[in-house]
Each structure stands twice: as C-alpha cells, then as structure tokens.
Amino acid sequence: MITFHIISSHEDEAKEIAREILVAKYALHMQLDQERKMILNNNGELMDTVNYKLSFITKALLYSEIELFVKEIVKGKFVYMYSLPISQMNVEHSAYLRENLK
C-alpha cells in the first residue's frame, strides 16, 4: 500500500480529480488540504502561493495506472504526483482496502 499525493494549483481541478478517482475506486476516501507554498523568485523575494493536495491510500501496483488516469483528467495541465510507502497498517483496515479497491 502507498499514500498517493496529487498537488494542483486549482481547487476545482483537485475536486474533479478526487471525484474521478473515487468513482474509479482507486481510493475509498481521501483528504483535500490547502497548502501554502513559499519559494524565492529570481530577485530573492519570497513568493507565497496556495496549492491543493489530495492524499489517499491505494495499492502500490496501481501507481502508474493512476498517474495516467490523472493525466487524462487534467489534459496537459501540470499536477505534481508522488507516493510514499505505508510500512504498517492495522489488519482490519488493510483487509477492507484490499477487498474494496480496484
């Protein structure tokens, strides 16, 4: 299992991605968090932007399939995607996910 993260700069886009992923059963539930990203521009000034991060648990073997699925939804717009492995999970929730995910 992995925690899959998708970061978009548009809230409506993040919500559409969330809906499509849930309908396709790539995830059974997810979180949508608003995050502030701060970077330095070329002049050394601090730039402050808002991004929207979707996080959900899914099967590790679905990563590439989900990545292609999301690219179809956003149609050429950039979204940042990555995953983190889950090393421990309670047995009951793990079984529930395995039985109900795609």
pLDDT in tens, 37-78: 999 999 999 999 999 999 999 999 999 999 999 999 999 888
- Note whether 24 and 40 are within 8 A (CB): no
Give, in words, the CATH class of 2-85. Answer: alpha beta
Cite the DSSP H helix spans in 2-90: 11-23, 63-74
- Note whether 14 and 54 are within 8 A (CB): yes
Q: Both tokens of residue 85?
A: 């492995």
- For the chain, what are the domain ranges? 2-85
Q: Which pLDDT does position 44 carry in this prediction?
A: 92
Q: Both tokens of residue 16?
A: 């559409």
Pairing of strands 46-58, 2-8: antiparallel
Residue predicted with more confidence, 102 or 32: 32
Q: Which pLDDT does position 51 carry in this prediction?
A: 96
